[in-house]
């Protein structure tokens, strides 16, 4: 009977040990699964955060490209900006492979004009027609639109500098696009000031004209426009000032009569 009791006690002890080991394994497994679930959740949060940031940057880049295309068609600048857009689209696609709508945008960004495509030399009438079209596009009617274009140009430079810092754009590309965008800023400012002065003169808002003409002269004095282009703009300012004087004198004469 003592032997049977001893065997019974051994069985009970072993059963208790097995139960303890089982509970320990279950506890460790629960901790591991909880940790895995936490890491996976954290990974999803990070992925969603990166997706949101990339989507926001993608929309900002698209807005910059559209904004610049309204006033400029420089192929090199547009190609670099589309390069940045494509890189973000590819990253978004890798983080979220189910986004089938990105394929078309990636193809469009890849089909951006090659460098120099917009600078081909043609005959004189064609060049003059392009120049006239460019002047109209850069002649904005109000200061709000001018500021909007300035913001797009500033944002474009931020994007291009980011690409340069990540070795996706060469130093000479950064320099050439910075020079072009700087000139574009002045061209928009000068042409828009002259255009707004013309509109004010036609609307008999004579008080606005002198300030707008001085603004144009200020940009011409310190800006990158030189040679024939600068002389033509100064001549436009001079003629508008003369027209303003004639309009004012005509108004005074009419009032006297």
Cα 121 to Cα 212: distance, rounded to the nearest angstrom? 34
Nearest to 62 by CA among 94, 46, 40, 84: 84
The 10s digit of each residue's pLDDT in 80-109 is: 999 999 999 999 988 888 777 788 888 888
CA distances (Å), origin 84, targets 50, 91, 92, 128, 203:
16, 11, 13, 32, 44
The whole model's pTM is what? 0.76
The 10s digit of each residue's pLDDT in 39-51 is: 666 667 787 888 8
Burial class (CB in 10 A: 0-12, 13-18, 19+), 230: middle
The 10s digit of each residue's pLDDT in 110-168 is: 886 654 444 445 555 555 556 677 888 999 999 999 999 999 999 999 999 999 999 99
Tokens 């108004």 map to which residue?
251
Task: Read off the pLDDT of each residue in 232-243 and give the average, rounded to a whole number.
Answer: 95
- When the pLDDT of each residue in the chain is averaged and rounded to a whole number, the result is 83
User: What is the pLDDT at residue 101?
Assistant: 78
Cα 93 to Cα 157: distance, rounded to the nearest angstrom? 25
What is the separation of C-alpha 60 from the centre of its chain, rounded to a whole number of angstroms? 5
């Amino acid at each position: 009977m003592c032997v049977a009791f001893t065997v019974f006690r051994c069985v009970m002890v072993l059963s208790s040990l097995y139960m303890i080991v089982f509970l320990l394994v279950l506890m460790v497994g629960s901790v591991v699964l909880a940790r895995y679930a936490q890491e996976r959740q954290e990974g999803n949060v990070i992925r969603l955060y990166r997706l949101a940031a990339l989507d926001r940057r993608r929309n900002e880049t698209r807005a910059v490209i559209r904004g610049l295309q309204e006033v400029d068609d420089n192929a090199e600048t547009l190609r670099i900006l589309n390069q940045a857009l494509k890189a973000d689209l590819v990253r978004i696609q890798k983080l979220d492979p189910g986004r089938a709508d990105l394929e078309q945008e990636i193809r469009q960004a890849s089909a951006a004009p090659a460098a120099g495509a917009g600078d081909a030399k043609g005959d004189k009438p064609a060049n003059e027609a392009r120049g006239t079209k460019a002047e109209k596009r850069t002649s904005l009617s109000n200061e709000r639109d001018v500021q909007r274009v300035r913001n797009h140009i500033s944002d474009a430079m931020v994007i291009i500098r980011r690409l340069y810092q990540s070795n996706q754009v060469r130093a000479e590309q950064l320099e050439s696009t910075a020079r072009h965008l700087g000139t574009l800023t002045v061209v928009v400012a000068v042409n828009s000031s002259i255009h707004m002065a013309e509109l004010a003169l036609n609307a008999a808002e004579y008080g606005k004209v002198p300030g707008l003409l001085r603004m144009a002269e200020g940009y011409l004095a310190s800006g990158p426009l030189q040679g024939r282009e600068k002389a033509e703009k100064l001549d436009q300012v001079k003629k508008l000032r003369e027209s303003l004087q004639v309009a004012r004198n005509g108004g005074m004469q009419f009032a006297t009569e």
